[in-house]
Chains A and B, each alone.
Chain A
Amino acid sequence: AQTVTQSQPEMSVQEAETVTLSCTYDTSESNYYLFWYKQPPSRQMILVIRQEAYKQQNATENRFSVNFQKAAKSFSLKISDSQLGDTAMYFCAFMNPQGAQKLVFGQGTRLTINP
């Protein structure tokens, strides 16, 4: 079974700084998908960014980018020019495209952006 580990329960940075959230996973599959979801205080889970394992190029979405290291099974999220609205729980998730499309989530990292 796949597992996802986020080793940073909480992080805090100042507005406009860059912050990196860590995620590692364990799988024997060669093709899969990785996601970062954001859960603000409103509680709704929002997709931040997605990476396909067979693509070597790291995904980017505006201020959000990932560092995908397939051999190391590492998938970190970098937030540049952080904003107060980035304050949220961030979850790393794994999807094995074979069979059910279920997401396996990490424990989450609570990120606080301070003014």
Chain B
Amino acid sequence: DAGVIQSPRHEVTEMGQEVTLRCKPISGHNSLFWYRQTMMRGLELLIYFNNNVPIDDSGMPEDRFSAKMPNASFSTLKIQPSEPRDSAVYFCASSLSGAGTEAFFGQGTRLTVV
């Protein structure tokens, strides 16, 4: 298996533009997570899906952020409109459901909003 695949690897966009980050989880995994990493706040969970259903979106910073998982093999995180403070590395991770199971991370998308 190729692991969790995220695209793009890097994204530079202008303030106000829409940004869409993509994630393909490991086949067979039924839990998917979006994390954000910044110098100030470290790694923080944005949203968690189980069996394609959003379970916990309490970490989504504001209405400009939205996430979808239309099927078991694809998820998107959208920011509209983007702002400079959204600049961060966004990670997608997947795992099997179950207590203590390992989360496998993608290589992340480095987003820069100018």
- Listed in ascending order, the chain A residues whose CB lies under 8 Å from chain B are 33, 35, 42-47, 50, 52, 91, 95, 97, 99-108
Known: A33-B100, A91-B43. A101 touches B91 (CB 8 A): no
Contact A44 B106 (CB under 8 A): yes
Q: List 19 A-B contacts (CB under 8 A).
A: A42-B107, A43-B107, A44-B106, A46-B105, A47-B102, A47-B103, A52-B100, A97-B99, A99-B56, A100-B55, A100-B56, A101-B31, A101-B99, A101-B101, A103-B33, A103-B35, A105-B44, A106-B42, A107-B42
Interface string of B42-83 (1 = CB under 8 A from A): 111100100000011000000000000000000000000000
Choose one: A45, A91, A99, A102; the contact of B45 (CB below 8 Å): A102
User: In whole angstroms, what is the CA distance A33 to B100 when docked?
Assistant: 6
Nearest B residue to A46 by beta-carbon distance? B105
Contact B42 A45 (CB under 8 A): no
Q: Which of A43, A102, A106, A107 has the most CB of B within 10 A?
A: A102
User: In whole angstroms, what is the CA distance A102 to B105 when docked?
Assistant: 13
Known: A43-B89, A43-B108. A105 touches B102 (CB 8 A): no
Residues from chain A with a CB closer than 8 A to the CB of B31 are: 101
Interface string of B87-113 (1 = CB under 8 A from A): 001010101011111111111101000
- Listed in ascending order, the chain B residues whose CB lies under 8 Å from chain A are 31, 33, 35, 42-45, 48, 55-56, 89, 91, 93, 95, 97-108, 110
Nearest A residue to B48 by beta-carbon distance? A100
User: In whole angstroms, what is the CA distance A45 to B91 when docked?
Assistant: 9
Contact B108 A103 (CB under 8 A): no
Contact B108 A44 (CB under 8 A): yes
B82 CB, min distance to chain A CBs, angstroms: 21
Contact A44 B105 (CB under 8 A): yes
Residues from chain B with a CB closer than 8 A to the CB of A104 are: 45
Residues from chain A with a CB closer than 8 A to the CB of B98 are: 101
Contact B99 A33 (CB under 8 A): yes
Known: A44-B108, A91-B43, A107-B42. A101 touches B103 (CB 8 A): yes
Residues from chain B with a CB closer than 8 A to the CB of A42 are: 107
